[in-house]
Structure 1
Amino acid sequence: MRAIDAIAEVLKREGVDFLSCFPSTPMMDAAAKAKLKPIVCRQERVGVGIADGYSRICNGQRIGVFAMQFGPGAENAFSGVATAYSDSVPVLLLPLGHASDRSGMKPYFSSVRSYDAVTKWVERINLPELVPEVMRRAFSLLKMGKPGPVMLEIPEDIVNKEVAPFDYQPVKAARAAGDPQDIEKAARILVNDKSPLIHAGQGVLYAEAWHELLELAELLQAPVMTTMMGKSAFPEDHPLSLGTGARVMTKPVYHFLNKANVVFGIGCSFSRHYFSVKIPPEKVIIHATNDAGDINKNYLADYPIIGDARLVLHQFIDAVKDLLGNSKRQADIAGEIKRVKEGWMAEWMPKLTSDEVPLNPYRVIWDLMHTIDPAQAMVTHDAGSPRDQLLPFYPATRPRSYIGWGKSHALGTGLGLAIGAKLAQPEKVSINIMGDAAFGMVGLDFETAVRNNIPIITIVLNNSTMAIEAPDEPLSQELYQSLDLSGNYAGLGREMGGYAERVETPAEIVPAIQRARRANMEEKRPALLEFITSEEITFSLF
């Protein structure tokens, strides 16, 4: 068999369902031969996003794959790969490479050299007989340890060389628990403290440890906040949920994070970042992560623990039960959360239920979450205002019902994620919410969903400007209107073959969402809803 067919065979044995791609790459025909459908995007960064969204929704149990040509194809994919890397997403990337006699020569683009900074591992397949070994190495890195994108460059002169018959067994993932002594010490701190807080990251999702997180929270009667990428790891309709903390946050997150003496970070990196919540000083920090590189990176960990989130949470549950014995923690934490949340929501209800025209984007979000059951949906934001408006208020009530992203926040990322999410769980409603600037970056890939019968819902919040940037560029906007944009995005969606509507009044919001859902269900058509909105830049900041 040819080397390229051997790669496709390994993908199939590893449970890969499809190949996200853009020509020209021999990987497309090899995948088709192996009965893996090639899904061709309109630009490479969206193709990476499709694979990325698929891997996230599958919690890395199944891996999204993207293939592209050498040179411009590999170059155009960079933004998507950078996003996957910064958000720690396991994606397999298969760029074609220049022939071996040009390897390392300038000005030929080298994926191995250029992608080293934004991949967990990048390797060039130098010999055809090494394909099984290199692929096994790649899937081992994808399935174990801290997640991240892995790239294998396939030189064009290796593609058609023969590979001897081989016996490839799918990689079995291994996990490690925490040191029992460390667990016991940290559990004692949690039990003895009156107001601990659990800070849950996306490691809980990848470990599929949401049941364990819920059990521990209830044992401790401890409030739980999630990070932007960890959103949906804890049900936000639970009495102990504080919601999400990022650049924007809920009032309960702000209140209890400041009140807490002990912060227990599980499955998180505690990275100090523009889109991560800041940990106040003088907190006792318990930090459990599967990556030693995260420990003490930005915050001193008083009780560091290295281990898989699910196994570590099991250990904490057992240790806390031993320490509590037959007693139960008595605290009106749920009541306090409810009071703080109700006061905060009362402040925001005028915007969430606003009848203003142009539409307030918060009204669109409010109507969406009361029209399509969040438990049956997978929603993702985009960069800028849609992220900051959606994140605090949209209730993620089931694991992976929300895709939070953005440590590398390229405009337009959400569209590819929504397509990939729908491929992973076709029975769910997949929705991406983007601004008009984001649509300008990647909007033509709505046609990718149309062409491949992937019925997503794309919501475009069109305020005809980049409002969130206005405070930073006031003079250029005043003199030259440099931030203003224009376009009829519903018209574009319709011309690309999707169902589309432009909505301008509050009374039209719910019926339009319902019609979009029917187009998804009855016609299997993607839907694009363009809402004409105000220049709203008030956010839930503290």
Structure 2
Amino acid sequence: MADGTHALPNGHLRTETMSGAEYIAGVLKEEGVKQIIGFPASELFDASAALDIPPLIARTQRVAVNIAEGYARATAGKELAVVTVQYGPGAESAFAGIAQAFNDRVPMLFLPTGYPRGSEAIAPNFESRRNFRHITKWCEAATQVDDLPKLMHAAISRVRNGPPAPVLLELPVDLLAERLDALPTDHRRPRRSVPQAGEREVVDLVESLLSAKTPVILAGQGVLSASATPELVELAELLNIPVMTTPNGKSAFPEDHPLALGTAGRARPATVDHFLEKADVVFALGSSLTRSYYILPVPDDKAILQVTLDEADLGKDYAVAQGVVADAASVLKQMIALIRRDYLPLGERQQPAAEIAAIRAAFMEKWMPLLTSDSMPISPYRVVWEIMQAIDPKTSIVTHDAGNPRDQFCPFYVATTPGSYIGWGKTTQLGSGLGFAIGAKLARPDATVVNLMGESAFGMVGIDFETAVRCNLPVLTIVLRNNVLGGYAKSMPIATTKYGANQVTGNYAPIAEALGGHGECVRDPAQLRPALLRALAKVKAGQAALVEVVTHEEPRLAGLR
């Protein structure tokens, strides 16, 4: 009622108001939020804890956002990932994580507190609403406490719908303390709308693929977000089309499938190069088709068909023959139904599986000497190989860090289950992989979660290994240690030669032990697998683990050298 009274079942009236913070926490409870991630101080932590929503407090704001990203990606955006930080320095320090999530196209709700109203625009106070606008898809601030119901509904609606990206609602601290007459139980949970393609668009997509001589499918993260792997497999098998993935889309198509080509990253298996070169049509499904140093470009002579949720992707970096704004799963279902209804039998179709197998076998034969090398210091490719032998890809989630760990790991690791690999590559902030791994473990506690990173990346975020320990999120972190900034000497040859600018030092296993986890350093390749198995046993028993591997710098990358 307008006067702040509410009718009880017995007909009596009661007066009930709550603070802005309590109202927001109540809405999160209605939304099924399981934890609120961040770094204090935020009035939302206590308000949420009162409703049995536990806080997950990271050691840095950036890693808190990385954890939320890992959580969102491990749940394919089906569960609401919420991050809160303190106004001013907290919001400033979270900027990098939100930028990473924006580039990775990850849906999350970011609720930074704000300076008291009236002082937010006074220099040098940091106003999130102004400064995060270009790395969020919706960026607003609450100015009246009575507006919270519609603002929370609007924010969550935008997290759930349209192109995935972070959504920001700034909450001034004085507003959070004000009382409002509203009940979280009146909040209506926004539902996800799944856009479909038009009938003519579906016909054109199907006919373009059927008339192509050597088409390939490039599957992006949109396939994972739409949980569309079964439909993608069905279409690929129906039309006998090879499938590669983007780095963010790795695991969207099972890489042990006869039609799987692998991931089209900067470093990639020979199957990708071979079939992309001979392709006449590239069907980019659930992909933004972003040009990046870290993503293999599509050659100019290919006809491109693109399906994406974001109309801004169409023609952004490539001229496309046909662009469709729609959900990947919906389009696949429409295409399959049309083919089965109107185009069967298909007649003689190319059978690429044998060709794929032969090229893959030759590629692996070429790289096996490095993957199984007995060199000391240890080859980073031997580390990749031993990880592949030690874990079950069907029950594990793996991720990597930026730079050489990504480029050495991605071409060889075989991701067989959707969501079992968190790949990233358009922007590559060192250290993000640790937070992604912690967030993935938070989302899927039964999974074995493994993160491969270099020592420079560990140097950025290593103290947040303690977050995994303290929050009972046992992940396995593998640190490649070669005492250099891998690959950076070529960008600063004079500084490296004269001053050793690419040199770093340190021992990292003792840090893990000091932070309460299991730590072990490996120097002998023969001891690598036993060390990984010991660490995995510790993880299974509930203790976060770190294996430090002394490696040599390795410049050779698949597809590049």
After TM superposition, is the score higher than 0.5?
Answer: yes
* Aligned position for 1:170: 189
Q: Does 1:53 align with 2:90?
A: no
User: Superposed, which structure 2 residues align to 1:430-449 within 5 Å?
Assistant: 430-449=449-468
Amino acid corresponding to residue 533 of structure 2 in structure 1: Q
The answer as to whether partners of 1:371 and 1:513 remain within 8 angstroms in 2 is yes
Q: 1:388 aligns with which of 390, 399, 407?
A: 407
The answer as to whether partners of 2:295 and 2:425 remain within 8 angstroms in 1 is no
SS of 1:502's equivalent in the other structure is strand
Q: 2:525 aligns with which of 492, 495, 506?
A: 506
User: Superposed, which structure 2 residues align to 1:38-437 within 5 Å?
Assistant: 38-166=55-183, 167-437=186-456
Q: Percent of pairs identical after alignment?
A: 43
The answer as to whether partners of 2:63 and 2:97 remain within 8 angstroms in 1 is yes
Deviations 1:276-306 (A, max 9, x none): 2211122111111111110111111111111
SS of 2:149's equivalent in the other structure is helix
Amino acid corresponding to residue 122 of structure 2 in structure 1: M
Shift of 1:323: 4.4
Any stretches of 5+ residues in structure 2 without a counterpart?
Answer: 1-17
The answer as to whether partners of 1:216 and 1:313 remain within 8 angstroms in 2 is yes
Shift of 1:174: 0.7
Give the Cα–Cα distance (whole angstroms) in 2 for the partners of residues 27 and 466 of structure 1: 40
SS of 1:285's equivalent in the other structure is strand
The answer as to whether partners of 1:144 and 1:174 remain within 8 angstroms in 2 is yes
Shift of 1:328: 5.0
Shift of 1:149: 0.3
The answer as to whether partners of 2:239 and 2:349 remain within 8 angstroms in 1 is no
TM-score w.r.t. the length of structure 2 is 0.95
SS of 2:151's equivalent in the other structure is helix
The answer as to whether partners of 1:380 and 1:414 remain within 8 angstroms in 2 is yes
Q: 2:547 aligns with which of 518, 529, 533?
A: 529
Give the Cα–Cα distance (whole angstroms) in 1 for the partners of residues 70 and 463 of structure 2: 18
Give the Cα–Cα distance (whole angstroms) in 2 for the partners of residues 309 and 332 of structure 1: 25
Q: Larger C-alpha radius of gyration, 1 or 2?
A: 2
Shift of 1:345: 1.0
SS of 2:427's equivalent in the other structure is coil
Shift of 1:155: 0.4
SS of 1:346's equivalent in the other structure is helix
Give the Cα–Cα distance (whole angstroms) in 2 for the partners of residues 189 and 44 of structure 1: 47
Deviations 1:400-442 (A, max 9, x none): 1000113221110000000000000001011111100011110
Shift of 1:327: 3.9
Amino acid corresponding to residue 198 of structure 1 in structure 2: I
Give the Cα–Cα distance (whole angstroms) in 2 for the partners of residues 446 and 65 of structure 1: 21
Amino acid corresponding to residue 251 of structure 2 in structure 1: S
The answer as to whether partners of 2:120 and 2:126 remain within 8 angstroms in 1 is no
TM-score w.r.t. the length of structure 1 is 0.98
The root-mean-square deviation of aligned C-alpha atoms, in Å, is 1.0
Give the Cα–Cα distance (whole angstroms) in 2 for the partners of residues 392 and 16 of structure 1: 36
Moved more, 328-337 or 126-135: 328-337
Q: Does 1:27 align with 2:35?
A: no
SS of 2:520's equivalent in the other structure is strand
Give the Cα–Cα distance (whole angstroms) in 2 for the partners of residues 384 and 30 of structure 1: 40
SS of 2:180's equivalent in the other structure is coil
User: Superposed, which structure 2 residues align to 1:5-24 within 5 Å?
Assistant: 5-24=22-41
Structure 1 stretches of 4+ with a deviation exceeding 6 A read none
SS of 2:234's equivalent in the other structure is helix
Shift of 1:186: 1.8
CA distance 1:328–1:402, shift in 2 (3 Å): farther
Shift of 1:331: 2.5
Any stretches of 5+ residues in structure 1 without a counterpart?
Answer: none
Shift of 1:269: 0.7
SS of 1:272's equivalent in the other structure is coil
Give the Cα–Cα distance (whole angstroms) in 2 for the partners of residues 359 and 380 of structure 1: 21
SS of 1:28's equivalent in the other structure is helix
The answer as to whether partners of 2:408 and 2:557 remain within 8 angstroms in 1 is yes
Deviations 1:16-55 (A, max 9, x none): 1111111111111111111111111111100000111000
Shift of 1:399: 0.5
Amino acid corresponding to residue 211 of structure 1 in structure 2: P
SS of 1:30's equivalent in the other structure is helix
